[in-house]
């Protein structure tokens, strides 16, 4: 039986309620347990951290129940995108599917770069990316692109930066 993608059914509600009962905050590990990448392996902890930090307004290391509603919607939206581009319903995004997805988002990348992306984000070494790694790939690409665009004021895809500007760029990301 294939593993479910996204939430392990209604259990996610219980996880949310229990976490709120205990501490008022849903932590990384609690969210990680509630999420499924479709392969029975633990959800990418880096993705979990990225998503929590997006919705954790007070920097408390987790989300409260209201913020959790945002997390839920965010992940569900990604689930729909993932299902749309996983054309063969394999539960993975292969190179071609990734190209169609990112092209759909407006990215213009070479075939060679798609190989680089798969190599970087394919944690399971299957030559394709699972749901959690697909989200991670898109988050990182978006962040890097946003920083680049700030410097590429004429939008021609080229920037010239000094050493310190380069360091500032990287500090924005790491």
Distance in angstroms (rounded) separating the CA atoms of residues 124 and 131 = 11
Among residues 37 and 64, whose Cβ is nearest to Ca ion? 37
> 21: buried, middle or exposed (CB in 10 Å: 19+, 13-18, 0-12)?
exposed
Residues 147-166 within binding reach of Ca ion (CB under 5 A): 152, 154, 156, 158
Considering only 67, 86, 132, 133, the residue that binds Ca ion (CB under 5 A) is 86
Among residues 15 and 93, whose Cβ is nearest to Ca ion? 93
Residues 88-107 within binding reach of Ca ion (CB under 5 A): 88, 90, 92
Least spacing, CB of residue 152 vs Ca ion, in Å = 4
133 in contact with Ca ion (CB under 5 A): no
| 31: its two tokens | 């969210």
Distance in angstroms (rounded) separating the CA atoms of residues 143 and 153 = 17
Least spacing, CB of residue 145 vs Ca ion, in Å = 14
**Helices and strands, number each (H, E), in the chain:** 8, 4
Q: Which stretch binds Ca ion (CB under 5 A): 27-35, 57-65, 85-93, 111-119?
A: 85-93
Least spacing, CB of residue 89 vs Ca ion, in Å = 7
Residue 1 makes CB contacts below 8 A (sequence gap 6+) with none
Least spacing, CB of residue 71 vs Ca ion, in Å = 25
DSSP 63-81: E-HHHHHHHHHHHHHHHHH
21 in contact with Ca ion (CB under 5 A): no
Closest CA to 137 of 124, 118, 150: 118
Q: Which residues bind Ca ion (CB under 5 A)?
A: 86, 88, 90, 92, 152, 154, 156, 158
């Amino acid at each position: 039986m294939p593993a479910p993608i996204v939430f392990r059914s209604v259990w996610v509600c219980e996880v949310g309620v229990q976490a709120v009962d205990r501490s008022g905050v849903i932590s990384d590990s609690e969210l990680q347990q509630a999420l499924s990448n479709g392969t029975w392996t633990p959800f990418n902890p880096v993705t979990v951290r990225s998503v929590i930090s997006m919705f954790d307004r007070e920097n408390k290391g987790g989300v409260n129940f209201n913020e959790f509603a945002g997390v839920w919607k965010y992940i569900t939206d990604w689930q729909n995108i993932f299902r749309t581009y996983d054309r063969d319903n394999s539960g993975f995004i292969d190179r071609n599917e990734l190209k169609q997805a990112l092209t759909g988002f407006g990215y213009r990348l070479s075939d060679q770069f798609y190989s680089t992306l798969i190599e970087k984000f394919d944690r399971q070494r299957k030559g394709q990316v699972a749901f959690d790694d697909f989200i991670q790939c898109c988050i990182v690409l978006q962040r890097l692109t946003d920083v680049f665009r700030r410097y590429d004021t004429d939008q021609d895809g080229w920037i010239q930066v000094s050493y310190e500007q380069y360091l500032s760029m990287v500090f924005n990301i790491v």
